[in-house]
Amino acid sequence: MTDAPATPAPAEAPGWWERWVARCSATESATSLALFRIAVGLVTLFTMGSVVTTGLVDVLWVDVAYGGMLPLEGNWLVAGLGGATPTVIWGLVGSSLLGSLLVTLGVGGRPVALVTLLVTTSLVDINGHAGGSYDELLGNAWWLVVLAGGERTLSLTARWRTGQWWPQVPVVAFPRWLGIWQLCLMYGSTGLQKVSAYWVPGGDHSALYYIMQQPTWQRGDMSWVAPLFPLTQVATAVTWWWEVTAPLWILFVWYAHTPDRPGRLRAWSNRLRLRWVYAGIGAAMHLIIFATMEVGPFSPLSMAFYVLLASPAEWERWLRRAPSSS
């Protein structure tokens, strides 16, 4: 009598570490991250270019001993180069502009992106009286560009290497999800800090009206807003609730990414397109801010992160779609 073949032992389910490694190692087409790379490069060109064209480089970033507004020690890079002198500062400005242009075109890969990150953040951090929280957001965006490898498509590098402008090449997906989380965290934390009676439910929702009447924020005369006070109250309430609930946004994006999985909440979210409802509210808010207020690069920089909300497959489908014929 022969022995029966041994029954193979059931495979063990992967543990949390194996699942985490698999998730961080997952790849996707580089299209979304390439578009994000282009957007961040253009926003930085706009940011640095606006300081140059308005003649504020020497005023804001050069030490008072050389004609600037304040004594400036600078960070490790500025200090190592010799301090906030006109030569050092203009060298960093030129490097930031050149690096941003090269990254936008997709030349130089991660080394150029890293250098651009360092010189740009060195400049925007040098004078605490001439910036805002968008400076930290800009630095985070550049770190994502360094991580992403998005120069592998929609770039001159791709053209030189493959003969195509838009080759379908894989990159790790986690930088895109980090960018989405950055966006949701920014809005959520901002909403939780709005605790005055002018913002929260139960108050008079007058925050946006008063903000629009502050000369330091205005692009022009905003007295025409007075008859629209009830609309500003509605906008204040919508903004507060949208920001406080923004962390749910990443859940809606994940539901759209995994539509075949079960769950009523997933089906409900995808049917109502909540990912795009949140995006639409945010886009409208930023367009109004950009049109009416002087808040630096906050709006275009925030909108650069919106590129990451769509998967590479969605971007490829939209960009390749031929114009419909009538």
Q: Which residue has the tokens 């109502």?
A: 272
Alpha-carbon Rg for the chain in angstroms: 24
Phi, psi of 28 (to 5 degrees): -155, 170
Distance from C-alpha of 267 to C-alpha of 256, rounded to nearest angstrom: 9
Query: For position 55, what pLDDT does the model report?
Result: 95
The pTM of the full predicted model, rounded to 2 decimals, is 0.91
Query: For position 24, what pLDDT does the model report?
Result: 81
Query: For position 325, what pLDDT does the model report?
Result: 36
Burial of 64 (0-12, 13-18, 19+ CB in 10 A): exposed
* pLDDT tens digits along 227-255: 999 999 999 999 999 999 999 999 999 99
Q: Which residue has the tokens 């640095």?
A: 48
Residue 273's region, left for phi above 0, alpha for psi from -120 to 50, else beta, is left
